[in-house]
Amino acid sequence: MPPYLLGLRLSGRRVLVVGGGRVAQRRVPALLAAGADVVLVAPEVTPSLESLIDDGRVTWLQREYQRGDCAGAWLVQAVSDDGKVNAAVAAEAENARVWCVRADDADASAAWTPASGQVGETTVGVLAGGDPRRAAGIRDAVVDGLRDATLEARHSRHKPTGVALVGGGPGDPALITVRGRQLLAQADVVVTDRLAPRELLDELPADVEVIDAAKIPYGRTVTQERINDYLVEHARQGRFVVRLKGGDPFVFGRGAEEVLHCAKHGIPVTVVPGVTSAVAAPAAAGIPVTHRGVAQDFHVVSAHIAPDTPASTVDWAALGRSEGTLVLLMAVERMSLIAATLMRYGRSSDTPVAVVQDGTLPGQRALTATLGTVADEMAAAGVRPPAIVVVGDVVNVAREIDMIRADMGRDP
């Protein structure tokens, strides 16, 4: 007979969990998230469970199971490593007419725990005839469809309104956030820029209007004022507008300017942070921006204005004196002057430098140099934007990792 699937509202209700191992470690957090009053019976528990106990979120009876422990429980989870103990717990629960889940024997269990997932306010629960792996696979497929909005977009009763300012991440379309992908799939209009993950646009329905708001360095550009107007014009027509930007919209992305413009015109805006290329591009090349004993701080600098320009607000003297990592954005055309400035203010010409072009994309490439040679090496290699420049000893950490991997790969 098929089971009857039921959503239990456990807030404030006592749930007994017998066993403190890996199964309990998975199930207790879900019970707590449902508001259950969890009582755990086990001589020992995993470190993760101990942390929940220390926080006062779980009542721990540090002993073996005893008959009578099921009293007052609304639900029982028999998840110990001892089948005899689980059988005894299940028998007591059965006599007390309390639902009990046995982790070790699905056929002998009065109830099954579905493979579950949460996406927003939607809870997915899947049972597959007692086969937990198959249930988890189906659950994952449904949850993925909800997360990337391929299901939500077709069946949602609540269409978003206004504007969503979405950070698309550093370039690889797989690195956009789950929330960003959800909103993109529900858009009526997408206003996209040059560095946004454009492969995602191919997934949009044919009736979605895509507006190219690219700003090409030293080339064609759409003014920021016109982009602001696009957002307001379409939102006022009742269309849901996604402003898809590369990286994070609030990290040198002029996102706040767009939010301010919408706010002045009464347009609601949802801001979805993105993975900034300032951290992601170095990471994709194996370079940490901080490393214990090497760099305790890092500075992200927009170098679109040269150091000797009065309009520059960057304290290049302080950066030259510091020992932290420098991450330079938009520095390709000005690297010679930037390097000279940093050396003038104290950085050694031997300071390691890495340049990562097209970080996270299939065409990613990287070169390493020193502060004294990087400008010439970039020119010789034909480096072009977008490229991230990393200055500091963390570059040597990446080199060390590469050397270890190379040694491990050699034949003995």
* Rounded alpha-carbon distances, angstroms, from residue 98 to 68, 78, 115, 272, 278: 12, 12, 21, 44, 55
Bridge partners of 23, per DSSP, are: none
Report the pLDDT value the prediction gives residue 35, as an integer from 0 to 100: 95
pLDDT-wise least confident of 67-71, 244-248, 270-274, 304-308 = 304-308
Quick count: other Cβ atoms within 10 Å of Cβ 382?
A: 7
CATH number at residue 89: 3.40.50.720
Both 138 and 209 in a single domain? Answer: no
Neighbouring CB atoms inside 10 A of 315's CB total 13
| Residues 136 and 102 occupy one common structural domain | no
Domain hosting 131: range is 114-147
Please say which residue of 275, 304, 332 terminates a domain: 275
Tens digits of per-residue pLDDT, 248-294? 999 999 999 999 999 999 999 999 999 999 999 999 999 999 999 99
Q: Provide the mean pLDDT of the chain.
A: 91
Are 140 and 172 part of one and the same domain?
no
Question: Does any domain span residue 29?
Answer: yes
Residue 7 lies in a domain: no
HEC assignment per residue over the chain: CCCCCCCCCCCCCEEEEECCCHHHHHHHHHHHHCCCEEEEECCCCCHHHHHHHHCCCCEEECCCCCCCCCCCCCEEEECCCCHHHHHHHHHHHHHCCCEEEECCCCCCCCECCCEEEEECCEEEEECCCCCHHHHHHHHHHHHHHHHCCCCHHHHCCCCCCCEEEEECECCCHHHCCHHHHHHHHCCCEEEECCCCCHHHHHHCCCCCEEEECCECCCCCECCHHHHHHHHHHHHHCCCCEEEEECECCCCCCCHHHHHHHHHHCCCCEEEECCCCHHHHHHHHCCCCCCECCCECCEEEEECCCCCCCCCCCCCHHHHHHCCCEEEEECCHHHHHHHHHHHHHCCCCCCCEEEEEECCCCCCCEEEEEECCCHHHHHHHHCCCCCEEEEECCHHHHHHHHHHHHHHHHCCC
Is there a domain that residue 9 lies in? Answer: no
Dihedral sign, Cα of residue 391, residue 395, residue 396, residue 399 = negative
Catalytic residues: 193, 215
Task: Give domain status of residue 155, yes or no.
Answer: no
Q: Are 389 and 282 found together in one domain? A: yes
Here the contacts of 290-294 (C-beta below 8 Å, separation 24 or greater) are 290/325, 290/394, 291/394, 291/397, 294/392, 294/393, 294/394, 294/396, 294/397
pTM: 0.72
The pair of structure tokens assigned to 78 is 């028999």
| Same structural domain, 59 and 123 | no
Q: How does pLDDT run across 160-198, given as a tens digit for each residue?
A: 899 999 999 999 999 999 889 889 989 999 999 888 998
CATH number for the domain spanning 176: value is: 3.40.1010.10
Would you state the pLDDT for residue 221? Answer: 73
Q: Is residue 143 part of a domain?
A: yes
User: Final residue of a domain: which of 275, 307, 341?
Assistant: 275
User: Number of structural domains, the chain?
Assistant: 4
Q: Is the domain of 62 the same as that of 39?
A: yes
| Amino acid making up residue 96 | A
Shared domain check, 385 and 363: yes
Q: Dump pLDDT digits (tens) for 232-250.
A: 999 999 999 999 999 999 9
Phi, psi at 34, each rounded to 5°: -85, 0
305 in a structural domain: yes
Same domain, 385 and 285: yes
| Whole-angstrom distance, CA of residue 184 vs CA of residue 161 | 12
> Do 376 and 393 share a structural domain?
yes
Q: At what angle do helices 224-236 and 255-264 cross, to 10 degrees?
A: 40
* Torsion sign across C-alpha atoms 217, 220, 225, 230: negative
6 occurs within a structural domain: no
Does residue 140 share a domain with residue 71?
no
The 10s digit of each residue's pLDDT in 2-14 is 888 888 999 999 9
Please say whether the dihedral angle defined by the alpha carbons of residues 147, 152, 156 and 161, taken in this order, is positive or negative. positive
- Looking at the fold, whether 246 and 264 belong to one and the same domain comes out as yes
Q: Which two tokens stand for residue 206?
A: 């044919």
Q: What's the pLDDT band for 149 if we cut at 50, 70, 90? A: low
Burial class (CB in 10 A: 0-12, 13-18, 19+), 277: buried
Residues 179 and 239 in one domain: yes
Of the listed ranges 82-86, 159-163, 215-219, 284-288, the least confidently predicted one is 215-219
pLDDT at 372 over 50: yes
